[in-house]
Structure 1
Amino acid sequence: MERIYFIGINGIGMSGLAKIMKLKGYDVVGADLSRNYVTEELESLGIKVFGEHLAENVIGADLVVASSAIKSENSEIKKALELGIKIIKRGELLSILMNKEKGIAVAGTHGKTTTSSMLGSLLLDIDPTIVVGGILPEIGSNSRFGKTDVFIAEADESDNSFLYLTPEISIITNIEADHLENHGCLENIKKSFRQFMDQTSGEILVCDDCPEALELAKDRKNIKTYSIYKKESDIIATDIRVENFKTKFKVSIEGDEFGEFELSIPGNHNIQNALPVIYLAKKYGISKERIAQKLLNFKGAKRRYDILHSDKIRIIDDYAHHPTEIKATIQGAKTIEKNKTVAIFQPHRYSRVNFLLNEFKGSFEGVDEVILMPVFSAGEKNEFGVTLEKLKEKIGHKHCTIVEKNEEIEKIVESESESATFLFMGAGNISSLAHTIAENIGRIR
């Protein structure tokens, strides 16, 4: 049996592929410096997970898969090179699996995890393989090994690994400046998305509400557009309204009214995410009634407006860390959260804060208070002179404070006398704090 060794196996993208390879019959082993919520699932499948990176761990491996976060000086990388073991990136392994199937790839600066998870949920009836960047509640995992040739995957543009993919169908949710530490500028990002679209053999579903994405769609014959604003798009949502914490809307496809649907997750951005999913579910033979039922029951991927506690105090865990994502999350929150709303934000990476500093201006408009926590570095050094004071000034919210310690956040929640919603936002370890407070809230109040 061929042994595959994953360096950084607990990452959300790496762990999904590790599970798929184990289920395909490979001997899978890996290492990661930190345990998290996927580690136990990996171990339950019989995957050995080492807690440190040691050179001897890779001895006996036939293939090494390395996370993009792993540096060349990693001891396991060095040993694999010394032994002549082939090393590939996560994106390459995904392409090996997906490119020989009927691949549906979901790409975009924002929304790809929710969209790919929603699509996976709606197409479960046809037994697809799924690899997404979040935990999908319907399968309790970030991946599943299906028996058909339909393969749904989240396509990662952050390091251009999505350019390994040659999907049959692709969805482009939006295109915006992000991960500039890798891309340098927006034009380079657009160049990569243009190539990704070139590599799609069939239909490309493009959000008509994103000018950058629409620009790349010009003069292509295999485009279907979707929109919540433009009535001339191929797939449109109309009559949007919020009732009893549910977002309702009607959908028309190429001029014909298809039906009315409801979402349990808030925000116009999630209506946009749902439109290509509804179209593809219809294309794959899922009935309108089944689509409506599954959309209503879809609670979102883990860490996408994840309601951890709901009482007088509501605790929400959300992955938003880019200014656009923050605005979208707050817009969605304000459609259903009628009480005082406090955003607790952990900035992600010094490079992102530096490159997008100006974009944070006004990004927290709509909440009553903003609390800034220390930057989650993700292993970066602060070479940019980033400070929370600079970020606070740029955000420009009149009720913005800096809090350095988790214990202080717990005290703030504990002492809240009003009905309030606390939005814990960020891509780092702030999620653990949100979960801890949600678990303890009955004790501390």
Structure 2
Amino acid sequence: MSEGVKTIFFSGINGIGMSGLAKIMVTKGYNVYGSDIAEKPVSKQLRDMGVGMFIGQEAKNLEGKNIDLFIYSSAIKENNPEYKYAVNNNIKKIKRGELLALLMNDSKGIAVAGTHGKTTTSSMLGITMLEKDPCIVVGGIIPEIGSNSKVGNSEYFIAEADESDNSFLYLTPSYSIVTNVEADHLENHGSYENIKKSFEEFIDKTSDIVVLNKDCHEIKKLNLKNKNIIWYSINDESADIYAANIEYKNRESHYEVVKNGESLGKFRLSIPGEHNISNSLGVIYLAHEFLCDMDKVKEYLYNFRGANRRYQILYDKSIKIIDDYAHHPTEITATINAAKKIETGKITVVFQPHRYSRTNFFLNEFAESLKLADEVYLLPIYSAEEENIYNISSEKLAELIGGNTRVYSEEEISDRVLNDNSSENVYLFMGAGSISRIANTIKNKLPL
């Protein structure tokens, strides 16, 4: 951090990335203030830690506080009154990703990137390396630490690296894991070619070891200059580390891990899906490289229930309610297929499309992935403050899915779930907007 910085203001502090960094900075002894447009559960956590919180974003939030550094999220635009105040008063301002880089780049940084799976993978890595006392900043709440961040007292710094706005290019990690590369956030990148170039740059900036998913064909097509590449796979035994003898039993995944021809033994996961076996392999490789106790690593992975909103079971009695962050067709496909392997009841997906741009770009792919469910309830598109310049709607998606699929209001979905008297039916709530609030509201109305 720059010398002389004592007081920091976070504009958009309730965001999962911003709140994690705010917690780190207040724990490090900085005076921290922040604002957001609405109250969220994390707001109370931040207040309890000593953060000066403001609900609503106004210039007066910064007045008289001697702010040395203004941190802003990608949601904050140049016409934001707090941003304008910082400009007009010559307050140094940096993006969230730049602050993360300032913290990580002076450490033995381990960054986890990828279009899908980076929150789960970085969370897995964080808990398996707890014995090393790392600093952790991820994009979800990790139940084992009760937070999305942790201040550590070692040289290790584990972070989720965000490609959505290219902020991961501020990072120069010592180690990195890349789970996959796919088209997404095209509203920011412009084209898939640009996304691939960004990942190439990120990988080539990793100084020591970069661990890549050999099962992702798009990664193998990248033009990479980095020679320190380790490959992991659940399908290819020529990889440096791979999973063998995969079995699914008693709602668990069982598999052997082989690294450089040597068996590291049997591993078990309680969270479902081949994609999570895959996510674990890069974690296991680095944990072994860092000389972590492998018996503890196995225990941590088995007890890992996922970061919040990653196949998070909210209710499991007569019916089951699951909350999941999946908001891209590939993620939806993986999550539904994982559910089919372990759930016995009818699977109804309650999906809220996120952003008009993403829904428009992947309309056909969304339809195909959602067809895997037994039934689909759609909510209107969550705009995330985008304008609908595409003339896209959930009704168009419903038409492509076919059958009895249609768009429901929150109240209609609540009534259908609450009045379901069938046994073992599974309601899988998916999306990145307000869908989690809807799922939790319904859960709170069900009998204990």
SS at match of 1:216: coil
- Offset at residue 288 of structure 1 (A): 2.2
Structure 1 letter corresponding to 2:18: M
* Matched ranges for 1:397-436 at <5 A: 397-403=402-408, 405-419=409-423, 420-436=425-441
Residue 49 of structure 2 is matched in structure 1 by 45
**Deviates most, 411-420 or 162-171:** 411-420
- Offset at residue 36 of structure 1 (A): 1.3
Residue 185 of structure 1 is matched in structure 2 by 191
Equivalent pair of 1:128/1:151 in contact (CA under 8 Å): yes
Equivalent pair of 2:204/2:224 in contact (CA under 8 Å): no
* Matched ranges for 1:189-208 at <5 A: 189-208=195-214
Between the aligned partners of 1:357 and 1:401, the Cα distance in structure 2 is: 15
**Deviates most, 364-373 or 337-346:** 364-373
Question: Which of 7, 11, 15 is the equivalent residue of 1:7?
Answer: 11
- Offset at residue 251 of structure 1 (A): 0.7
1:350 aligned to 2:356? yes
- Offset at residue 415 of structure 1 (A): 2.1
Residue 330 of structure 1 is matched in structure 2 by 336
Question: Which of 313, 319, 324 is the equivalent residue of 2:325?
Answer: 319
Between the aligned partners of 1:415 and 1:25, the Cα distance in structure 2 is: 51
Equivalent pair of 1:64/1:80 in contact (CA under 8 Å): yes
* Matched ranges for 1:23-38 at <5 A: 23-38=27-42
- Offset at residue 89 of structure 1 (A): 0.2
Question: Which of 94, 107, 110 is the equivalent residue of 2:116?
Answer: 110
Post-superposition CA distance 1:1-48 (Å, at most 9, x none) = 711000000000000000101111110001001111211110110101
Provide closer, same or farther for how the CA distance between residues 64 and 299 of structure 1 changes in structure 2, counting only shifts above 3 A: same
Post-superposition CA distance 1:163-205 (Å, at most 9, x none) = 0000000100000000000011111000001110111101000
1:377 aligned to 2:396? no
Structure 2 letter corresponding to 1:416: D
**Deviates most, 342-351 or 408-417:** 408-417
Residue 120 of structure 1 is matched in structure 2 by 126
Post-superposition CA distance 1:102-121 (Å, at most 9, x none) = 00000000000000001001
Between the aligned partners of 1:435 and 1:132, the Cα distance in structure 2 is: 22
Equivalent pair of 2:318/2:421 in contact (CA under 8 Å): no
SS at match of 1:442: coil
Equivalent pair of 1:122/1:291 in contact (CA under 8 Å): yes
Provide closer, same or farther for how the CA distance between residues 217 and 228 of structure 1 changes in structure 2, counting only shifts above 3 A: farther
Provide closer, same or farther for how the CA distance between residues 253 and 399 of structure 1 changes in structure 2, counting only shifts above 3 A: farther
1:268 aligned to 2:274? yes
Residue 94 of structure 1 is matched in structure 2 by 100
Post-superposition CA distance 1:422-441 (Å, at most 9, x none) = 00000011101111111211
1:282 aligned to 2:288? yes
* Matched ranges for 1:357-368 at <5 A: 357-368=363-374
1:78 aligned to 2:84? yes
Equivalent pair of 1:207/1:226 in contact (CA under 8 Å): yes
**Deviates most, 372-381 or 211-220:** 211-220
Between the aligned partners of 1:121 and 1:207, the Cα distance in structure 2 is: 21
Between the aligned partners of 1:230 and 1:217, the Cα distance in structure 2 is: 21
SS at match of 2:238: coil
Equivalent pair of 1:334/1:366 in contact (CA under 8 Å): no
- Offset at residue 124 of structure 1 (A): 0.7
1:226 aligned to 2:235? no
Post-superposition CA distance 1:59-99 (Å, at most 9, x none) = 32111000111110000111111100011000000000000
Residue 293 of structure 1 is matched in structure 2 by 299
Between the aligned partners of 1:270 and 1:252, the Cα distance in structure 2 is: 17
Count of aligned pairs between the two proteins: 441
Equivalent pair of 1:259/1:288 in contact (CA under 8 Å): no
Post-superposition CA distance 1:292-344 (Å, at most 9, x none) = 11111000000000000111200000000100000011011111111111000
Equivalent pair of 2:378/2:394 in contact (CA under 8 Å): yes
Consecutive unaligned residues in structure 1, runs of 5 or more: none
Q: TM-score, normalised by structure 2?
A: 0.96
Between the aligned partners of 2:236 and 2:255, the Cα distance in structure 1 is: 15
Equivalent pair of 1:63/1:86 in contact (CA under 8 Å): yes
Residue 437 of structure 1 is matched in structure 2 by 442
**Deviates most, 97-106 or 253-262:** 253-262
1:169 aligned to 2:180? no
Between the aligned partners of 1:437 and 1:264, the Cα distance in structure 2 is: 25
Residue 243 of structure 2 is matched in structure 1 by 237
SS at match of 2:369: coil
**Deviates most, 161-170 or 408-417:** 408-417
Structure 2 letter corresponding to 1:99: N
Residue 145 of structure 1 is matched in structure 2 by 151
Residue 211 of structure 1 is matched in structure 2 by 217
Structure 2 letter corresponding to 1:82: N
SS at match of 2:365: helix
Structure 2 letter corresponding to 1:439: N
- Offset at residue 217 of structure 1 (A): 6.6
